[in-house]
């Protein structure tokens, strides 16, 4: 793709963890120049272990890195000059952190009225807005954990769904503000929040209560709208999700399984009839599936338009034929020069996927070039580096 939609847009990002970096990554993938401002030792997310070990490399492609001590007046002045040159400023630190360093929206707007300022918070303005939040916190508060686990065992979703979606909504707000700026010439403050994001995820269950008058049951205990909509075990011990959501799918599935007798049963004539008989019918189908080869049946299900899905672990996706052949995985160079396959944004423009254009940056890899672009001389940069205000990776 010769020119990307956000070519010429400069983004300054002071973020960590997932939510803010996701916003910056999306804008970077769309072509913006994203300059990540890191502490002297680098974003602490780089050093996470366990469940956080993949955060930095996943959400920080297509970015430059400068490393600056924001607690030093000279460091803050460098970042203020950088913000003066920016179209977009992104942050996701606790309430009050940016204001304490003179990097809040009101301060930067006075210097740069065209700036779009995107804050990623736990809560939008209201009684909770001073609270600290995590993805897990809002999943518990907003009903998602209740809906995910069985009764009495609230369970968070298996990914940072609110952080990632919160960053995505931040990016959507930035794109809207950029479009409005084309007409008005003025910037705008954009806020995205974990809690409100999670409430949106729970909205369908809120409305289920309004429509039915009954509280939504957690997903493991829900009354399914379809009879065949479950995970089954096969002869080799494999598990696969199989669904039949329409009359045609139900008929086809019965024929594939050699269960034509079920089609002749008047008590199973409609979907609602089958839902009322679901426990008995699922027990019978489970016995049938347990005698079959999962891979062989999957071929037949696909050929006949029956929804199905093998149960996979995340590491198995590196070998997924669709992702490989469709270009959904791309080689991403890491800060140590090694490479990994990385999922791209789930969209295409004119049939083309948005690729990594830059490796994951080393800490302060671009400090010199960015500051030179702001008018700093080699001597000034060297002095600031010697004073510990900058981390200059050469």
pLDDT in tens, 215-257: 999 998 887 889 999 999 999 999 999 999 999 999 999 999 9
Does the structure show a pLDDT above 80 at 145? yes
pLDDT in the model for residue 5: 97
pLDDT tens digits, 85-108: 999 999 999 999 999 999 999 999
pLDDT of residue 224: 85
In this prediction, residue 272 carries a pLDDT of 94
pLDDT of residue 198: 98
pLDDT for the residue 1 = 56
Percent of the chain at pLDDT > 90 equals: 97
**163 has catalytic annotation:** yes
pLDDT score of 221: 87
Q: In this predicted model, which residue has the larger pLDDT, 152 or 224? A: 152
pLDDT of residue 315: 98
Using the predicted structure, report yes or no on whether residue 156 has a pLDDT greater than 70: yes
Instruction: Say yes or no: do domains 10-201+345-391 and 224-314 share a fold.
Output: no
Segment 274-292 mean pLDDT: 96
For residue 12, pLDDT over 80 is answered with: yes
For the segment 209-218, the average pLDDT, to the nearest whole number, is 95
List pLDDT tens digits, range 295-319. 999 999 999 999 999 999 999 999 9
* Nearest alpha-carbon partner for 361 in 387, 335, 382: 335
Beta-ladder partners of 353 = 348
pLDDT at 223: 78
Q: Which of 104, 135, 163, 366 is catalytic?
A: 163
Q: What is the predicted pLDDT for the residue at 225?
A: 87
Domain range annotation of the chain = 10-201+345-391, 224-314
Question: What pLDDT is attached to residue 371?
Answer: 98
Tell me how many helices (H) and strands (E) the chain has: 17, 14
pLDDT category at 37 given cuts 50, 70, 90 is very high
Alpha helices in 190-245 (DSSP H): 194-212
In the predicted model, what is the mean pLDDT of residues 277-285? 95
Average pLDDT, stretch 368-381?
98
Q: pLDDT at residue 205 above 80?
A: yes
For domain 10-201+345-391, say whether CATH 3.10.620.30 is its number: no
What pLDDT does 394 receive? 60
- Mean pLDDT calculated for residue range 265-287: 95
Could you please state the CATH topology (level 3) that the domain comprising 224-314 is classified under: formyl-coa transferase, domain 3 (3.30.1540)
Mean pLDDT, the chain, whole residue set: 96
Residue 222 confidence (pLDDT)? 83
* pLDDT at residue 281 tops 80: yes
Given a cut of 90, whether residue 193 has pLDDT beyond it is yes
The rounded percent of the chain whose pLDDT value lies above 70 is 99
Q: Residue 204 pLDDT more than 70?
A: yes
């Amino acid at each position: 793709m010769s020119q990307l939609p956000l070519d010429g847009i400069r983004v300054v990002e002071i973020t960590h963890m997932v939510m803010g970096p996701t916003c910056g990554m999306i804008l970077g993938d769309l072509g913006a120049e994203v300059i990540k401002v890191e502490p002297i030792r680098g974003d602490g997310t780089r050093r996470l272990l366990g469940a956080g070990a993949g955060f930095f490399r996943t959400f920080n492609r297509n970015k430059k890195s400068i490393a600056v001590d924001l607690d030093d007046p000279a460091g803050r002045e460098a970042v203020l000059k950088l913000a003066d040159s920016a179209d977009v400023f992104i942050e996701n630190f606790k309430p009050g952190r940016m204001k304490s360093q003179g990097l809040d929206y009101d301060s930067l707007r006075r210097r740069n009225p065209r700036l779009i300022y995107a804050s990623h918070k736990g809560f939008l303005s209201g009684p909770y807005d001073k609270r600290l939040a995590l993805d897990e916190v809002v999943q518990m508060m907003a009903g998602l954990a209740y809906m995910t686990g069985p009764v009495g065992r609230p369970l968070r979703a298996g990914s940072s769904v609110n952080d990632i979606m919160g960053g995505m909504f931040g990016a959507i707000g930035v794109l809207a503000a950029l479009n409005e700026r084309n007409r008005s010439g003025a910037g705008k403050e954009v806020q995205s929040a974990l809690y409100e994001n999670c409430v949106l995820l729970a909205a369908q269950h809120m409305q289920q209560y309004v429509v039915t008058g009954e509280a939504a049951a957690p997903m493991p205990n829900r009354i399914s709208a379809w009879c065949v909509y479950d995970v089954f075990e096969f002869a080799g011990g494999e598990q696969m999700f199989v669904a039949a959501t329409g009359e045609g799918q139900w008929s086809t599935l019965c024929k594939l399984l050699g269960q034509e007798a079920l089609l002749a049963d008047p008590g199973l004539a409609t979907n609602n009839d089958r839902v009322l008989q679901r426990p008995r019918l699922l027990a019978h189908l489970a016995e049938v599936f347990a005698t079959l080869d999962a891979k062989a049946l999957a071929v037949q299900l696909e050929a006949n338009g029956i929804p199905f899905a093998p149960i996979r672990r995340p590491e198995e996706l590196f070998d997924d034929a669709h992702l490989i052949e469709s270009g959904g995985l791309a080689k991403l160079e890491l800060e140590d020069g090694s490479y990994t396959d990385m999922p791209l944004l789930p969209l295409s423009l004119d049939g083309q996927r948005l690729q990594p254009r830059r490796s994951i940056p080393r800490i302060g890899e671009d400090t010199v070039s960015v500051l030179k672009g702001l008018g700093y001389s080699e001597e000034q940069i060297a002095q600031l580096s010697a004073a510990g205000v900058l981390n200059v990776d050469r």
